[in-house]
Amino acid sequence: MQKLIEGLHRFQSEVFTAQRDLFSRLSQGQSPEVMFITCSDSRISPTLITQSGPGDMFVMRNAGNIVPPYGMGADGEDATIEFALVGLKIRHIVICGHSDCGAMKGLLHPEMLETLPAMKTWLKHGEPTRRIMDANYRHLHGNALVTATAEENVLTQLENLRTHPAVQERLERRELTLHGWVYKIATGQMFNYDHEVGQFTPLARPALPPPLQDERAAG
């Protein structure tokens, strides 16, 4: 805890003063373009891994980056998603799972959750993932199984996200894009679900704009 408090004082004396204009602008309001939904795991630092800053992302975190289907009693998640879309007019939602996820291990081994009754109830929102793993991934073990579960869970939670009325509405109006990502802690790599190939593939750099036409060649 001491480390955090010392860091806070260093932030105020060094970082804040150096970026005073940014923080002054942010004090008037926020208009992030991206909502980032990820796990509470301490090893995932959304702003660090995306090299973004204050005001860039509206973040929702919980154990297992879970998005319960709309109206299932998860009022905090329902309200956060509603506010992101209706209040902030978010254009992109990323659901980001990760390797070595404790919640995914709990999903695979419910017997580990005897002393965690609230977690057991929460992970019911990941039950479709558990069934898919049971049916299709019996050949995997250890880390590979946990990472595959994190991938399938991202897809399950994207489906759940589509049950939210504000999400449905924006998707129909083509004002919103959904993204499924999985972060590998050991390598720092990010994998993106590619709808065309039906797989998670390394997240590519955005395509550069086409080069300006060479006038001599054109002329």
Please give the residue ranges that form the binding site for Zn ion (CB under 5 A): 39, 41, 101, 103
- Residues 17 and 171: their CA atoms lie apart, in Å, by 41
Rounded to a whole number of angstroms, the distance between the first and last alpha carbons of the chain is 67
Least CB distance from residue 141 to Zn ion, whole Å? 19
Closer Cβ to Zn ion, 74 or 101, answer by number: 101
Cα four-point dihedral sign 139, 142, 148, 154: positive
Least CB distance from residue 150 to Zn ion, whole Å? 8
Burial class (CB in 10 A: 0-12, 13-18, 19+), 91: middle
Cα dist from 79 to 84, 87, 173, 215, whole Å: 9, 11, 21, 54
Burial class (CB in 10 A: 0-12, 13-18, 19+), 180: buried
Closest of 29, 30, 167 to residue 95, by C-alpha: 167
Least CB distance from residue 167 to Zn ion, whole Å? 23
Closer Cβ to Zn ion, 91 or 105, answer by number: 105
Least CB distance from residue 100 to Zn ion, whole Å? 8
Closer Cβ to Zn ion, 41 or 152, answer by number: 41
Least CB distance from residue 113 to Zn ion, whole Å? 14
Closer Cβ to Zn ion, 57 or 101, answer by number: 101
Closest of 34, 38, 12 to residue 23, by C-alpha: 12
**DSSP, res 92:** E
Closer Cβ to Zn ion, 67 or 101, answer by number: 101
Least CB distance from residue 65 to Zn ion, whole Å? 7
Amino acid identity of 167?
A: V
Closer Cβ to Zn ion, 39 or 93, answer by number: 39
